[in-house]
Amino acid sequence: MSVLVLYNEDKEEVENSLDELRTFFYTNSASYKEHPHTCSVEIERELATTTFDLIVVLGGDGTMLSVARRVFQYEIPILGINLGHLGFLAEWDLNLFFKEWKKIKGGAGYYPIGRRNILKCTITKDKLNVYQEKIAEFYALNDVVINAGSPFRMIEGDIFVDFHAQVGYGIDFAASFKSDGLVISSSVGSTAYSLSAGGPIIVPSANVLSITPIAPHCLSMRPVVVDGVSKIHIAMSKINEGTTVVIDGQDKIRLEKDWVIDVAKTFPQLRLVTHPTKNYWQILREKMHWSE
C-alpha cells in the first residue's frame, strides 16, 4: 500500500506523531512519502508521478480544508488524524489508525468512505451582463463567505438561485440583502461559519447548499437551504473598501463593485475516510457538547 502523509508542521505534537508513523510504516512494509501540507509544488509532483492509495493528513480541520481543496480531483481517499481541537473532518487519532491498519491496508472496500461535495466559486467581471472576464476561481469544502470588511458598513446585493445552473437576470431572483456579509455553505460546512451566523446543521452527506446572512438588517431575512444542483449567483450593489470573498476561512480576494460571484458544486466529490465506529450524530454530540 502506498501512502502520502501531509502534515501541519506548526502543530506541537506533529514530530512525535510523524516518528510513530514512520516506525509503523517501516515495520509494516508500507510505502509512504511525507511533506508539510503547505509544500504545494512538491505535493503536486508526488501526485503526478506516484499512485497513492491513501492520503493521511496530520493536523486539525484547518489542515484538512487546505489539503482537500488541492487534492480532491485525484479521487484518493483522505484520512484525517486530529492534532487540533474540533475534529469534525479529522475524525481519527493515531491509536485508531494503527488498530484499523489491516482493514485500511485491505483497500477502500474495507473501511468507510464518505463522499462530500466540493464548491466551485467563480468570480467574474460584469460587462453589460455578459460575464466575459474571469477574475478568479476557487474551490471550497466548507464555505464561500462575502465579508463586509472595513469600514464595516453594511453591504448590499442580490441573490439569484438557479436550478438549472444557468443564470439569467430576472429569472430565479431570490432576494436582496443588506447585512454584514453572506455565507454560502456546503453541507459539510454547516457546522462552521454558517452555524455561528445562525445557519442550520446539515448532515454532511446531504446534497444541498445553504445561504446564511451575517447580521442581516432585515430580521425576516433567514437562512435558506437549496438543492445541490443549484447555482447561487450574487451580484453586489454596495460594498466597502475592505469587502472580501473568503474561501474556507483561508484564501481571500478583495471584491470590487462590478464583480459577480457564482457558487455551485463541482466534481469529483471528496473521498473522506470517516470514523469506523462512530456515526455522525455521536461525533456531533461530542463536539457540540450536547446533553451535558
Catalytic residues: 61
Cα separations in angstroms, 25 against 22, 78, 98, 119: 5, 17, 10, 34
Quote the CA–CA distance of 247 and 88 in Å, as a whole number: 18
Quote the CA–CA distance of 205 and 40 in Å, as a whole number: 28
The 3-state DSSP class for residue 67 equals helix
Residue 200: DSSP 8-state: P
| Residue 36 C-beta-side C-alpha neighbours within 13 Å | 7
Instruction: Report yes or no: 57 and 33 within 8 Å, Cβ to Cβ.
Output: no
Rg, the chain, Cα only:
20
The 3-state DSSP class for residue 41 equals helix
The 3-state DSSP class for residue 291 equals coil
Cell numbers representing residue 235 in the block: 451580484
Quote the CA–CA distance of 278 and 276 in Å, as a whole number: 6
Strand order in the sheet with 224-227: 224-227, 208-214, 181-186, 143-147, 244-247, 251-254
Quote the CA–CA distance of 101 and 24 in Å, as a whole number: 10
Number of H helices, E strands in the chain: 7, 16
Going by DSSP bridges, is the β-strand pair 54-59/78-82 parallel, antiparallel, or unpaired? parallel
Measured over the CA atoms of residue 102, residue 79, residue 13 and residue 84, the dihedral's sign is negative
